[in-house]
């Protein structure tokens, strides 16, 4: 009787494992099937799958037994994180994100032979090249968008490589698109958040006169400015990017209000870019009246913002 009971228990456990395995597989298949489809054997395909920039420049092409990137090495390098590679090293690249469209993938039928696929991005490859050259070997990112339409015109991340001729030693972070997968200290651009909060929460803001002597003292800690701007209006303080004024405003507003506006403006949230989830930003709330609070209103301290935000 014991043997029968043990065998029954073992059979039930095995059945449960099979069911769990099937559930996991089906979930992964539905979720990632279009990405897996990118690795189909194009050597047997009669169709061509092409990825282009807004002007028609070929950025990547596969089909008929071949896989190629842009003709220009400058374009290949400047667009690497944007496009990714055929090995899937850049998880946020267009080859991964648009694999369903490029491969003609269907969750029920898989990949079927059909017409050639020609997918055009909004990005300008030549603009990417100029932006990458402007970085001049420095680590960083350049993101340019049409604010009226939301179209991305330029997306560059450095360091980068030529996927057709990858070096034996890869630069650190080369597979990361800094425009969407990283968050950085925003610096003075965050002063617009502080200004937005100040306009709606501080009375007579536009009638006040602020004074900058090059620094302010906050409980014995010096918050410095890059200039000595003297007396100025809030408009002049913004034009001068005055740390003294925006540090003072941060102290008046408080961390809760600044954090609320950073959240409201979407700087601390993840965002969706097609099938990609971008990195989230962060605003740490320091104690009232602290130098850290003053610096946070200037875009320093622990402030983090994703370039895409």
For residue 180, which phi and psi values (nearest 5 degrees)? -130, -20
**Which tokens sit at 132?**
């990458």
Does residue 207 fall inside a structural domain? yes
Name, in order, each residue with C-beta under 8 angstroms of 63's C-beta and a sequence gap of 6 or more: 42, 45, 46, 47, 48, 49, 116
Residue 3: band (very low, low, confident or very high) from pLDDT cuts 50, 70, 90? low
Mean pLDDT, all residues of the chain: 88
Among candidates 41, 96, 102, 74, which has minimal Cα distance to 163?
Answer: 74
Pairing of strands 49-52, 117-120: parallel
pLDDT at 206 over 70: yes
Domain that holds residue 224: 187-296
Predicted confidence at residue 66, as pLDDT, reads 85
Average pLDDT estimate for 280-287: 90
Q: State pLDDT tens for residues 208-247.
A: 999 999 999 999 999 999 999 999 999 999 999 999 999 9
Of 179, 212, 246, which one is at a domain's C-terminal end?
A: 179
CATH of the domain at 269: 3.40.710.10
pLDDT at 5 over 90: no
Which residues on adjacent β-strands are paired with residue 61?
50, 68
Q: pTM for the complete prediction?
A: 0.77
pLDDT at 30 over 80: no
4 vs 66, higher pLDDT: 66
Least confident of 15-29, 134-148, 190-204, 269-283: 15-29
Same domain, yes or no, for 160 and 263? no
Of 162, 179, 196, which one is at a domain's C-terminal end?
A: 179
Name, in order, each residue with C-beta under 8 angstroms of 22's C-beta and a sequence gap of 6 or more: none
Does residue 306 fall inside a structural domain? no
Q: How many domains does the chain fold into?
A: 3
Of 144, 159, 179, which one is at a domain's C-terminal end?
A: 179
| Residue 165: its H or E element | none
Least confident of 13-17, 155-159, 251-255: 13-17
Residue 133: band (very low, low, confident or very high) from pLDDT cuts 50, 70, 90? very high
**Which tokens sit at 254?**
């408080």
Predicted confidence at residue 159, as pLDDT, reads 96
% of the chain exceeding 70 in pLDDT: 86
What is each CA distance from 39 to 34, 36, 42, 68, 261, in whole angstroms?
10, 6, 8, 14, 44
Predicted confidence at residue 62, as pLDDT, reads 87
């Amino acid at each position: 009787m014991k043997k029968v009971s043990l065998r029954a228990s073992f059979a039930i456990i095995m059945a449960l494992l099979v069911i769990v395995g099937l559930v996991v597989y089906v979930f992964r298949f539905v979720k990632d099937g279009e990405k897996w489809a990118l690795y189909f054997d194009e050597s047997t395909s009669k169709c061509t799958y092409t990825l282009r920039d807004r002007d028609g420049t070929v950025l990547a092409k596969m089909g008929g037994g071949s896989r190629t990137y842009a003709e220009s090495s400058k374009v290949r390098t400047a667009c690497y994180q944007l496009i990714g590679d055929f090995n899937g090293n850049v998880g946020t690249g267009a080859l991964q994100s648009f694999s369903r469209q490029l491969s003609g993938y269907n969750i029920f039928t898989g990949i079927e032979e059909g017409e050639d696929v020609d997918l055009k991005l909004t990005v300008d490859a030549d603009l990417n090249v100029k932006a990458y050259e402007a970085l001049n070997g420095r680590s960083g990112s350049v993101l340019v968008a049409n604010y009226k339409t939301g179209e991305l015109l330029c997306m560059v991340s450095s360091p980068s490589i030529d996927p057709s001729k990858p070096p034996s030693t890869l630069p650190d972070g080369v597979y990361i698109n800094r425009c969407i997968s990283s968050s950085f200290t925003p610096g003075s651009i965050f002063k617009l958040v502080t200004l937005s909060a100040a306009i709606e929460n501080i009375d007579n803001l536009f009638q006040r006169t602020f004074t900058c002597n090059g620094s302010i003292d906050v409980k014995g800690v010096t918050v410095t400015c890059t200039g000595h701007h003297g007396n100025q209006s809030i408009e002049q303080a913004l034009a001068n990017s005055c740390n003294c004024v925006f540090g003072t405003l941060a102290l008046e507003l408080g961390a809760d209000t600044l954090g609320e506006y950073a959240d409201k403006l979407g700087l601390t949230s993840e965002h969706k870019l097609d099938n990609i989830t971008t990195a989230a930003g962060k605003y740490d709330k320091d104690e009232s009246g602290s130098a850290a609070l003053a610096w946070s209103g200037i875009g320093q301290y622990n402030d983090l913002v994703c370039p895409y935000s």
